[in-house]
Amino acid sequence: MKKIKMGMIGGGLGAFIGDAHRRASRICNDFEMVGGVFDADFSKSKEFAKQEGLDLKRCYKTVELMIKGELALPASERIQAVSIVTPNYLHFPFAKMLMENRFHVMCEKPMTMTVEEAVELEKLVKKHKVTFALTHTYTGYPMIRQMREIIAGGALGTIQRVDAQYYQGWVNSIIHGAGSRITGVWRFDPEKSGASSCMGDIGVHAFNLIEYTTGLEIKQVLSDLNHIKEGFKLDLDGTVMLRFDKGLKGVIRSCQVATGEENALTIAVYGSKASLKWGQENPNYLYMLSDSDPVKVLKPAHGYNSEFAEISHTMPCGHPEGIYEAVANIYKGMAKSIRGEKFKPGEFPTVHDGVRGMKFIHAVVNSNKKGNTWVRL
């Protein structure tokens, strides 16, 4: 099948996220990167294009020039989908510009800076009938998809408690000690990062996983955020209490200064009959607990899994898969949508997930500002 021609904004020399997107698109084998705007510095952008073996005529100085240049090409040759892997404040203007010119979009999260921007993008997706995918990466793991299917099938009974945690420690080396680099990190600048650091960058992943796996919507939040260091503008740590419908409650704990932690994202859903637990650092293990049976350990590439989980692994059983394959699953779902093929709900996060994420981030920030009160999403 002919590959979908892909462009990229950002993600040039030394960019981890850009590299992850390119690897994932190759693993899924549905895309071919042909051009883009890889750096604000055009010389660096061209250097990257040379390194990737791309046609320098399709390495553009600005996004506006990329759109103009690609639209001038025959439809069969031009870029069809564009991955946005820039700092947060550029997501909305670039996504809007692309969709207004009928390009499909893969966007890093958080989707926008404000709820209003997110709602506008949702309207543009509907108006222009384009595919918009959001890289909530962890929804691409086979065992998270299996978790979703088990819960949907009712095996847990009535859900009684939901806990999610996302702990990292990388910020410690930046904010403490000699030669603090706070002013040189865009993630710590509200003008570029948005209203939140910790909750906006990683807490929103925990929020997304809760809604993705349970199929439930969080209705209200009460947050207690911590900036850790005096004078620091954004949160680096926080706890968020959650309210769903019908008395169900839960919690999200998130931290970027948890010394020694690497990428400790975990989720646990406790039901009246059984419970499920999953952790990102060992993503091939899904644990099912009950009061009457021994703990069950489910792994990818086994016949006991759902069809959705089984189409989401790329390796035989016993061969570990990781984050590149998870992102590849999201690209695979996006490709199906672009081609008009049938795909399952949940194969890729949509613009609606982006709207929900922005509502969560801003509700959390507002709850903290109001003195730790309940705020409705």
Name all domains of the chain by residue range, CATH numbers in brackets: 4-138 (3.40.50.720), 142-310+351-376 (3.30.360.10)
The answer to whether 262 and 172 are in contact (CB under 8 A) is no
Token pair for 259: 């010394």
Beta-carbon neighbour count of residue 229 at 10 Å? Answer: 13
Over residues 94-136, the pLDDT tens digits come to 999 999 999 999 999 999 999 999 999 999 999 999 999 999 9
Quick: pLDDT tens for 332-354. 999 999 999 999 999 999 999 99
Q: What is the pLDDT of residues 263-292, one digit of tens each?
A: 999 999 999 999 999 999 999 999 999 999
CA atoms of 289 and 202, how far apart (whole Å): 27
With tokens 């009535």, the residue in question is 158
Cα separations (Å) of 123 from 80, 99, 129, 159? 20, 11, 10, 33
Q: How many angstroms separate the CA atoms of 136 and 138, rounded? A: 6
- Are the beta carbons of 104 and 30 closer than 8 angstroms? no
Whole-number pLDDT of residue 181: 59
**DSSP letter for each residue of 61-72:** SSHHHHHHHHHT
CA 94 to chain centre: 17
231, two tokens: 């004078």
pLDDT band at 230 (very low <50, low <70, confident <90, very high): confident
Supply the DSSP symbol for 203.
I
Structure tokens at 299: 């792994």
Say yes or no to pLDDT of 177 above 70: no
Cβ neighbours around 38 below 10 Å, total: 28
Rounded to whole angstroms, the Cα distance separating 332 from 101 reads 23
In total, the chain counts a number of residues equal to: 377
For residue 66, what pLDDT is reported?
A: 98
Can you give the pLDDT at residue 175? 87
Q: In what order do the strands lie in the sheet with 104-107?
A: 31-37, 4-10, 81-85, 104-107, 132-134
Q: Is 336 helix (H, G, I), strand (E, B) or coil?
A: helix
pLDDT at 88: 97
180 pLDDT higher than 60 = no
Whether 303 shows a pLDDT value over 80: the answer reads: yes
Strand order in the sheet with 375-376: 296-298, 286-289, 275-279, 264-271, 159-167, 249-255, 237-243, 220-226, 375-376
Tracing tokens 């680099």 back to the chain, one arrives at 181
Quote the pLDDT of residue 295: 98
Query: At a CB cut-off of 8 Å and minimum separation 6, what does 120 contact?
Result: 92, 96
Residue 109 is given by DSSP the state S
Q: What is the mean pLDDT of the chain?
A: 96
Q: Which residues contact 141 (CB under 8 A, 6 or more apart)?
A: 278, 280, 283, 312, 326, 329
Region 232-238: mean pLDDT is: 95
Q: What is the pTM of this model?
A: 0.96
